[in-house]
Structure 1
Amino acid sequence: MPRNSAKVAIEWYENVLGLKRFVINQEDDPFQGFTVRVGSMGMRMFSSVYWKCSETGCGDAASKLKFVFAESLIDPNSGSSDQITTFIARHNGQPGLQHIALTCTNSIKEVVRLTKANGAQFLSPCSSYYSQENNGRVIEAAGENAAELCKLGILLDDEADSWKTENTTSKLLTKVLLQIFTRSIFDNDTFFLELIERRGASGFGAGNVRTLWQIIQKRMDHSG
């Protein structure tokens, strides 16, 4: 969405469809949203959630339908562009649906292997994402193998309150999410799909959001 337009859209969805504000992760401000900055570019994200009993509050909102609204931080009069402004330009100047996330109820690793074997193409993060200096420690604490996730291209992130001390020397993660994103499934290089496996986590990892932005932006820069 264009800069400073997300809140208007969110209000419409809340008033007309009954969506409720949903906090994306620990860095999400209830009023200003979650801001991602990479160099001179970036985006601001807000999330809303809908579930059948939203009026009465029954049921688990964290597991229901979520909408994420993302707006560019670029001034529309600056002449600069990023992946959001490019998306809008390719859709006749209008905001639209960038991707849909599909939940993996079993192992996302098996789903990725199966879909790759059937021709699916996924975006690949930089291998340094899986290093000890970056996400390696978190991956190991979640009981996963960094080399395996790197080979598959799966991202792993944790939530703020997800650490649990197992003994005096080690900690385990109790709330993590694993994600992977396909390449665009259409010729105009916009719409794509996401696969996600939640293990106690309800939001969207801040680190993974930044990584996805970097992957898409780098791919756009290389494609010209």
Structure 2
Amino acid sequence: MAKLVGYANFKRSNPMTDRFDMRAFHHVEFLCGDAQTTAARWSYALGMPLVARSDLSTGNTRFASHVIGSGSIRFVFTAPTSSSDALDDAHPSVTTTPRAMREYVARHGLSAVAVAIHVEDAREAFERAVAGGAKPAMPPRTTPADGGCVVSEVLLHADGDALLRFVSGASADGATGFLPGYAPTGAALDETYGFVRLDHVVSNVAQLLPAVDYLIKAVGLHQFAEFTAEDVGTPFSGLNSMVLASNNESVLLPLNEPTTGSARKSQIQTYLEQHDGPGVQHIAIKTDDIFATAELCDELGILADRDDQGVLLQIFTKPIGDRATLFLEVIQRIGCDEGGAVEQKGGCGGFGKGNFHELFRAIEELETRAGINTAASPPRPSAGA
């Protein structure tokens, strides 16, 4: 089992242990109550145009799904428009029935239902992940047209309902806007605000080490970084965190757990309560010029940190929806580009202990003002204790 040793004692290495070929993040899908409205809000705020859709205008009477994008980023917003409990073969990438969508939104609110990874072979990825202990969610589904797109899914967390989705096939490269079953809008992906790709996707779980072991055994990810309450916490609350990475370190999946016995609830605990279980806490989107992206950088307070490989610049939004759960991060990594000859190395600049502490402190202050982090009773010990 993985073991926490703290930021100062952790030694980064890459044992190249992926169980199958993982290329990069492909998309993140969110379930919500109204896909068109939610997508329009995010499109306006992030400068990402609508690139594909599946709804009444395309003959889909079961659900509405709108895709916005910039660079290689694809955010998918889906809402049920029927109560059907059957899947639709015309949409292989949508593997949740409308009835299950309703139940998911009722439980979690606006939430990331699936983190999708572009893999060499989604069928092989599913088989090897399940053989490694992953809990299966959807066996491979294939669309013969458009290059034979294959989609499969396992649970992202063994005790949760979010999905780790595998996507492969010629039509999975986004050339037509998105996957089969979606109508492209023809919008240009000109990176209006400078967003180029997804950097990392962070989950909150009740117990860190079992969640880490689950993903390491199922997918083969390796430990990239870690932090404890002593590294990033405040005098009032804390967390433990591990960052997992693929061989090419382009797929970065950090996980956080709450620590206990403090004057206030850990913000990870308040997330678990607000979200009603484990799930995606925040998504980092990469820019090559955070100052141009944020513009009001002095007022917004861009955080800077570095490690032996490069510099890390970050800024975070407040919670996006009605619940104190999901938020976004804008990130720039400087260095590790080998003189600009090749694409920058994944994870360049690490994860910034100082930045992490400032984020934790800011969220703690927000939750204290909202009155949702009072430690009412002593919780059970954490997995990292």
Give per-residue Cα distances to partners, 1:79-106, cap 9 Å, x unaligned: 95221111111122x11110000111x2
- Counterpart CA distance in 1 for 2:230 and 2:333 is 20
Give per-residue Cα distances to partners, 1:100-153, cap 9 Å, x unaligned: 00111x21111113xxxxxxxxxxxxxxxxxxxxxxxxxxxxxxxxxx743232
1:17/1:33 Cα in 2 relative to 1: closer, same or farther (>3 Å)? Answer: farther
Residue correspondences, number: 156
- Name structure 1 gaps, 5 residues minimum: 55-59, 114-147, 163-174
Question: In the alignment, what sits opposite 1:205?
Answer: 352
TM-score (norm 2): 0.38
TM-score (norm 1): 0.63
Of 173, 183, 201 in structure 1, the residue corresponding to residue 318 of structure 2 is 183
- Counterpart CA distance in 1 for 2:269 and 2:363 is 13
Structure 1 or 2: more helix by fraction: 1
Of 191, 211, 219 in structure 1, the residue corresponding to residue 366 of structure 2 is 219
| Larger radius of gyration between Structure 1 and Structure 2 | 2
* 1:98 alignment partner, SS class: strand
* 1:97 alignment partner, SS class: strand
Query: Is the Cα–Cα contact under 8 Å of residues 154 and 178 in structure 1 kept in the other structure?
Result: yes
Letter in 1 for 2:280: L
Letter in 1 for 2:211: A
Structure 1 or 2: more strand by fraction: 2
Letter in 1 for 2:311: V
* 1:195 alignment partner, SS class: strand
Question: In the alignment, what sits opposite 2:331?
Answer: 196
Of 278, 289, 296 in structure 2, the residue corresponding to residue 107 of structure 1 is 289
Q: CA deviation at 1:199?
A: 0.4
* 2:279 alignment partner, SS class: coil
Of 272, 275, 278 in structure 2, the residue corresponding to residue 88 of structure 1 is 272
Question: In the alignment, what sits opposite 2:259?
Answer: 73
Letter in 2 for 1:98: Q
Q: CA deviation at 1:41?
A: 1.1
Question: In the alignment, what sits opposite 1:6?
Answer: 208
1:34/1:80 Cα in 2 relative to 1: closer, same or farther (>3 Å)? Answer: closer
Of 34, 47, 55 in structure 1, the residue corresponding to residue 243 of structure 2 is 47
Query: Is the Cα–Cα contact under 8 Å of residues 306 and 349 in structure 2 kept in the other structure?
Result: no
Of 224, 247, 267 in structure 2, the residue corresponding to residue 22 of structure 1 is 224
Letter in 1 for 2:236: S
1:205/1:191 Cα in 2 relative to 1: closer, same or farther (>3 Å)? Answer: same
- Counterpart CA distance in 1 for 2:313 and 2:319 is 20
Q: CA deviation at 1:39?
A: 0.3
Letter in 2 for 1:189: A
- Counterpart CA distance in 2 for 1:12 and 1:202 is 26
Question: In the alignment, what sits opposite 1:120?
Answer: none
Higher relative contact order, chain-length normalized (CA < 8 Å, sep 6+): 1
Give per-residue Cα distances to partners, 1:45-81, cap 9 Å, x unaligned: 111002xxx3xxxxx43xx111111111115xx8952
- Identical amino acids, percent of aligned pairs: 31
- Counterpart CA distance in 1 for 2:231 and 2:257 is 10
- Counterpart CA distance in 2 for 1:72 and 1:189 is 15
Give per-residue Cα distances to partners, 1:151-202, cap 9 Å, x unaligned: 232111121x36xxxxxxxxxxxx2111001111111121001010000233
- Counterpart CA distance in 2 for 1:209 and 1:79 is 20
- Name structure 2 gaps, 5 residues minimum: 1-203, 336-347, 372-385
- Counterpart CA distance in 1 for 2:239 and 2:314 is 20
1:157/1:202 Cα in 2 relative to 1: closer, same or farther (>3 Å)? Answer: closer
Query: Is the Cα–Cα contact under 8 Å of residues 178 and 198 in structure 1 kept in the other structure?
Result: yes
Q: CA deviation at 1:17?
A: 1.6
Q: What is the root-mean-square deviation of aligned Cα atoms in Å? A: 2.4
Query: Is the Cα–Cα contact under 8 Å of residues 34 and 46 in structure 1 kept in the other structure?
Result: no
1:208/1:42 Cα in 2 relative to 1: closer, same or farther (>3 Å)? Answer: same
Question: In the alignment, what sits opposite 2:300?
Answer: 152
Query: Is the Cα–Cα contact under 8 Å of residues 109 and 152 in structure 1 kept in the other structure?
Result: no
Q: CA deviation at 1:209?
A: 0.2
Letter in 2 for 1:44: N
Letter in 2 for 1:89: E
Query: Is the Cα–Cα contact under 8 Å of residues 72 and 84 in structure 1 kept in the other structure?
Result: yes
